[in-house]
């Protein structure tokens, strides 16, 4: 069972490694579903983490139909990722009609090689998952991250299983979104997945001793300034055990 942890900062990447993950998806901006992190963060993670590092290539939040300016940014970000010696990149581009933008996806895939390439949950916003599956295979994606066109992978597990069967080894299908200790075994049993994607999120208190009582967080009154997102290594280990147990039971 391959374990991929989505991380949003350097500390989380180190904690994912401590938890013995196989791969990380490195992003910024969790509130927008992940965007491209800074080059400095990518470089630091690459220098201090030995497991596979896949970088999100997404110039903004929102939909997955991009302007020519945004597409240029994606190409330049991929170039920088190659220079920083990461292992893979993650992206997806759609046409307005809900189909995969095969032309531009293929251009980015060809540009990214020899890096591995994952199609992210833009896949879940396509009009027909089986059409999108064949399009992803045609243009050369190595993997699809999907919640089965639902908000969470547990709700989409049946479709994920159908996609895995239809793919028949031509492309990896990885469930993600809402994968946790309470859902992972059901998802693995229903889908037959061999890879899972989750966050293993925990939060820690800021080390700041002085705290301005008038400001809880930049642009927020929820206390976010003093609540730092990280990864719980033990959750990573526990999730692997649960997923592998479910996979073994499926085989028995």
For residues 228 and 222, give the distance between their C-alpha atoms in angstroms, rounded to a whole number: 12
Instruction: With cut-offs at 50, 70 and 90, classify the pLDDT of residue 252.
Output: low
**What domains are there in the chain, each with its CATH number?**
2-251 (3.20.20.380)
Phi-psi region of 206 (alpha: psi -120 to 50; beta: other; left: phi over 0): beta
Give the whole-number percent of the chain exceeding pLDDT 90. Answer: 90
Give tens-digit pLDDT for 153-194: 999 999 999 999 999 999 999 999 999 999 999 999 999 999
pLDDT at residue number 223: 64
First-residue to last-residue Cα distance in the chain: 16
Tokens of 158: 């049946």
Tell me which residue of 205, 196, 240, 244 sits closest to 225, measured CA to CA: 205
Contact 122, 176 (CB under 8 A): no
Cα radius of gyration rounded to whole Å, the chain = 18
Q: Is the pLDDT assigned to residue 216 strictly greater than 90?
A: no
Give tens-digit pLDDT for 115-141: 999 999 999 999 999 999 999 999 999
**Position with higher pLDDT, 206 vs 111:** 111
pLDDT at residue number 242: 96
Q: Number of H helices and number of E strands within the chain?
A: 8, 10
Cα dist. 226→9, 91, 210 in Å? 15, 31, 11
Give tens-digit pLDDT for 222-234: 667 888 999 999 9
What are the percentages of helix, strand and coil residues in the chain, rounded to 5? 40, 20, 35
Contact 19, 236 (CB under 8 A): yes
Stated as kind and residue range, the H or E segment containing 50 is: none
Phi-psi region of 158 (alpha: psi -120 to 50; beta: other; left: phi over 0): alpha
pLDDT at residue number 220: 61
């Amino acid at each position: 069972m391959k374990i991929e942890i989505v991380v949003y900062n350097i500390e989380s990447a180190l904690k994912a490694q401590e938890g013995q993950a196989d791969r990380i998806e490195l992003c910024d901006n969790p509130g927008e579903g992940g965007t491209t992190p800074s080059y400095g963060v990518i470089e630091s993670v690459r220098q201090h983490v030995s497991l596979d590092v896949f970088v999100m290539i997404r110039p903004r939040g929102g939909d997955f139909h991009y302007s020519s300016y945004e597409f240029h940014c994606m190409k330049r970000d991929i170039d920088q990722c190659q220079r920083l010696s990461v292992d893979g990149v993650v992206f997806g581009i759609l046409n307005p009609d809900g189909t995969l933008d095969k032309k531009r996806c293929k251009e980015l895939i060809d540009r990214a090689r020899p890096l591995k390439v994952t199609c992210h949950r833009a896949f879940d916003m396509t009009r027909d998952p089986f059409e999108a599956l064949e399009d992803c295979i045609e243009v050369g994606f190595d993997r699809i991250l999907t919640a089965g066109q639902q908000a969470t992978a547990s709700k989409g597990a049946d479709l994920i299983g159908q996609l895995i069967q239809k793919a028949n080894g031509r492309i990896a299908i990885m469930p993600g979104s809402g994968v946790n200790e309470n859902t992972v075994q059901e998802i693995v049993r229903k889908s037959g997945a061999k890879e899972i994607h989750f966050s293993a999120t925990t939060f820690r208190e800021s080390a700041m001793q002085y705290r301005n009582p008038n400001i809880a967080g930049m642009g927020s009154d929820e206390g976010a300034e003093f609540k730092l997102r990280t990864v719980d290594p033990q959750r990573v280990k526990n999730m692997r055990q649960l997923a592998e147990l479910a996979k073994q039971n499926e085989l028995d």
